[in-house]
Amino acid sequence: MKATLAIQRGALGEPPRVESFEVTFEHGQSVLDGLRALRCEVDPSLAFRFSCINANACKECMMLIDGKVDYACTVRLKEGVTALAPLPKKALIRDLVTEIAPPDERLWPRQ
């Protein structure tokens, strides 16, 4: 099966752009599986966070998936287009990575 990931990309201070990528997947694979395959096979510059892979325990892979805040490790890939964007109301670092650390735990101040 094939899915299209429409990913909002960019960095702090850059205008956002959407890039679409087609990924092959099997039933039951997650959006995170698709992102990892995409980064490995197509675009190693794609930035996103993850830690636990599929346990929904670390909260690192939170992003907007089809307009809803969700975890990339638990949302299943589907045929057709899936829109991915960084978390709203969080400082953008790059692509799907936003500043999620509490202010007193950040390594440097963000604008």
Which of 1, 33, 38 minimizes the C-alpha distance to 21? 38
- C-alpha distances in Å from residue 22, one per residue of 6, 33, 110: 9, 13, 33
Q: What is residue 60's predicted lDDT score, i.e. its pLDDT?
A: 86
Taking CA atoms, 61 is separated from 14, 102, 103, in Å, by 22, 16, 19
- The string of pLDDT tens digits covering residues 48-104 is 999 876 666 678 899 999 999 999 999 999 999 999 999 998 889 999 999 876 666
pTM equals: 0.88
DSSP designation for 7: E
Torsion over CA: 49, 54, 59, 62 (sign): positive
**pLDDT tens digit sequence for 13-41:** 899 999 999 999 999 999 999 999 999 99
**Which band of pLDDT confidence, cut at 50, 70 and 90, is reported for residue 111?**
low
Q: Which domains does the chain have, with CATH numbers?
A: 2-105 (3.10.20.30)
Higher pLDDT, 105 or 52: 52
